[in-house]
Amino acid sequence: MHLGARIRKNVAVIVMVLAILAFAYAVGAQQARGHRIGFISSASSSAMAARDEAFRQGLHAFGYV
């Protein structure tokens, strides 16, 4: 094999490996999306405090919080 062709082949392999590593790093760096729960009520926040805490405890019991 000619020396120039061998160098080009090695460079191509190195570029492919670096591209794969860069892609793997970029995928791993993305943060997982969190779930959101909305609740609409006409009650005051102080009146809903006990229910909010019970709801959070229920979510925690199932491993969501």
Query: DSSP per residue over 2-37, as a string?
Result: -HHHHHHHHHHHHHHHHHHHHHHHHHHHSPPPPP--
Range of the domain at 48: 3-61
How many structural domains are present in the chain? 1
The helix/strand/coil state of 65 is: coil
pLDDT tens digits along 8-19: 889 999 999 999
pLDDT tens digits along 16-57: 999 988 887 777 666 677 778 887 888 888 888 888 899 899
The helix/strand/coil state of 11 is: helix
Query: pLDDT confidence of 4, banded at 50, 70, 90?
Result: confident
Query: pLDDT confidence of 5, banded at 50, 70, 90?
Result: confident
Question: pLDDT value at position 47?
Answer: 84
Alpha carbons 44 and 53: distance in angstroms, whole number: 15
What pTM did the predictor assign?
0.42
